[in-house]
Amino acid sequence: MTNDRDFSRQSFLGAHSEELFANLRVAIVGLGGGGSHIAQQLAHLGVGHFRLIDPDNIEASNLNRLIGGTQDDVDNERPKVEIATRLVLGIRPWAKVTSRQAKWQEADDLIRDAHVLFGCVDGYQQRDYLETAARRFGLPYIDIGMDVTRLHDASFAVAGQMIMTLPDNPCMRCLGFLTPDKLAQEENRYGDVGINPQVVWTNGMLASLAVGAFAKLFTPWFSAEENYTWLELDGNAQTVSRSQQPDYFPRLPVCPHHGGANGLGEFGFDIRRS
């Protein structure tokens, strides 16, 4: 075993976890503050195949949170996917990385080819569309996001969430995270959600929760029969708790939002796997 493949410190994940992770394909949509954290942690974990998708180049305002980004990257306007690729290969030179500097809708072949889809995007509609793609391809979907709200006393509330949904189980609409009102309000603003405040430590905490959910999904280190995961982060108190919001919504035997005649996914996606 070479030095870069010594995973003895995480042997509790299972006798064959090293081989399992090395053969998994993960797709990450959005390589900013959240997605760059996730890419880094998955590389440390030993994931062997990455599909990285983001249309943007790094900007100076990204340096407060984009893991692996440097001032030189900003000066040369490097693509975020290029920075993430460099980050992954710097940790695991043997990893296979396929990247696409494009909107994720133009890179559906990379999503289709994955075992898990991570969503690190802004806005409710993009989350809705991305989860639909995951359902179309039969993939677990792991989503992270944070928000900063100004309070009446001029202080700020920092909050975030990590949600994992699984095929044939409750989706983010079922859970009440995505609602018609939220989607309609965003559509009325023509999809412009404005500048979303972000900080590196909150992005890192949410990314860690996402990678933890990923590890629980594939390894036997903790027995958990969950058909979804929704964790809420109180950034002010720096606590994480299981969301109580799904308890307010009716329990349905099947997800009515995806699957069947009315849930065929977005146009342009091909259900056949390559």
pLDDT of residue 48: 97
* Between 235 and 256, residue with greater pLDDT: 235
The first and second tokens of residue 218, run together, are 């594939």
The first and second tokens of residue 220, run together, are 């036997």
Per-residue pLDDT, averaged over 94-98, amounts to 98
Is the per-residue pLDDT at 273 higher than 60?
A: no
Structural element, H or E, at residue 43: helix 33-45
Single pTM value for the model: 0.90
Per-residue pLDDT, averaged over 250-257, amounts to 76
Give the residue among 58, 45, 55, 49 at the shortest CA–CA distance from 18. 45
Q: What is the strand order of the sheet 25-29 is part of?
A: 96-100, 49-53, 25-29, 116-119, 141-150, 156-165, 228-234, 239-242
Is the per-residue pLDDT at 191 higher than 60?
A: no
Domains defined for the chain, CATH in brackets? 15-248 (3.40.50.720)
- Strand-pair partners of 98: 51
User: Is residue 57 within 8 Å of residue 79, measured between CB atoms?
Assistant: yes
Query: Please, what is the end-to-end C-alpha distance for the chain in angstroms?
Result: 32
202-234 per-position pLDDT tens digit: 999 999 999 999 999 999 888 777 889 999 999
Is the per-residue pLDDT at 267 higher than 80?
A: no
pLDDT of residue 220: 86
Per-residue pLDDT, averaged over 103-121, amounts to 96
Residue 265 zone, left/alpha/beta (φ > 0; ψ -120 to 50; rest): left
User: Measured between alpha carbons, how far is residue 84 from residues 48, 66, 78, 171, 257 in Å?
Assistant: 14, 9, 11, 29, 33
